[in-house]
């Protein structure tokens, strides 16, 4: 499909979507603003943007694209059809933010910020090899904070859960 034959490109896979065809938009208003205007050709493409946008709760809303190019231009922006139904797409457990966050061996420290801090406070340079041991220390502190929050029956880690605070 070419630009002349298509309505818009999918925000995830960049495939052209035709006129008067089913597509999906995100239920979160920041994804539907005039400048953002995210549209997706399939629910799978919609799911691709979830880890990036980090929505707390979102679902895909089915819509129909305009019937013709003239209808899209008349609306002043890429308009969607009148038929709309909301269908919540439930993310599998493996794509939830907690499950897809950081694997146990991934670096958790922002190197540029650490290097800037060390340079400003001590005038020293910082080796890249320090990031892994510091990440292990952070993981240890966070694991203990998780246990402290669980012990108090909460699902939110607070500053008071961090050891030594």
Please, what is the angle between helix 111-122 and helix 131-151, to 10°?
110
Listed residues 71, 93, 115: the one ending a domain: 93
Q: Which pLDDT score, from 0 to 100, does residue 108 have?
A: 86
pLDDT tens-digit readout, 96-124: 455 455 566 788 888 889 999 999 999 99
Listed residues 93, 114, 147: the one ending a domain: 93
Most confident of 25-29, 49-53, 140-144: 140-144
Does residue 57 lie within any of the structural domains? yes
Which tokens go with 145?
């904070």
The number of distinct structural domains making up the chain is 2
Residue 87 and residue 117 share a domain = no
Residue 121 and residue 58 share a domain = no
Residue 109 and residue 89 share a domain = no
Residue 110 and residue 87 share a domain = no
Where do we find the tokens 């794509």?
Answer: 95
Q: 102 with 56: CB under 8 angstroms?
A: no
Q: How far apart are CA 136 and CA 37, in angstroms?
A: 40
pLDDT mean over 133-148: 92
Residue 82 and residue 129 share a domain = no
Over the chain, what is the mean pLDDT?
Answer: 78
Going by C-beta distance under 8 Å and a sequence separation of 6 or more, which residues neighbour residue 44? none
**Structural domain that includes position 118:** 102-161
Residue 83 and residue 110 share a domain = no
pLDDT tens-digit readout, 32-65: 777 778 889 888 888 888 777 777 778 888 888 8
Does residue 25 lie within any of the structural domains? yes
Residue 111 and residue 88 share a domain = no
Whole-prediction pTM: 0.42
Which tokens go with 16?
């052209």
Q: Which pLDDT score, from 0 to 100, does residue 17 have?
A: 86
């Amino acid at each position: 499909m070419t630009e002349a034959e298509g309505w818009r490109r999918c925000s995830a896979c960049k495939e052209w979507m035709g006129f008067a065809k089913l597509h999906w938009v995100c239920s979160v208003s920041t994804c539907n603003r005039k400048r953002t205007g995210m549209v997706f050709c399939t629910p799978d493409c919609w799911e691709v943007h979830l880890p990036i946008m980090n929505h707390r709760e979102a679902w895909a809303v089915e819509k129909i694209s305009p019937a013709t190019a003239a209808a899209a231009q008349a609306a002043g922006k890429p308009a969607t059809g009148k038929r709309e139904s909301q269908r919540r797409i439930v993310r599998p457990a493996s794509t939830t933010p907690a499950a897809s966050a950081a694997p146990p061996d991934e670096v958790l420290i922002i190197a540029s910020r650490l290097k800037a801090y060390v340079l400003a406070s001590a005038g020293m340079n910082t080796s890249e090899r320090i990031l892994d041991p510091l990440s292990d220390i952070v993981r240890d502190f966070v694991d203990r904070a998780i246990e402290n929050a669980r012990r108090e029956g909460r699902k939110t880690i607070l500053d008071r859960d961090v050891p030594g605070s």
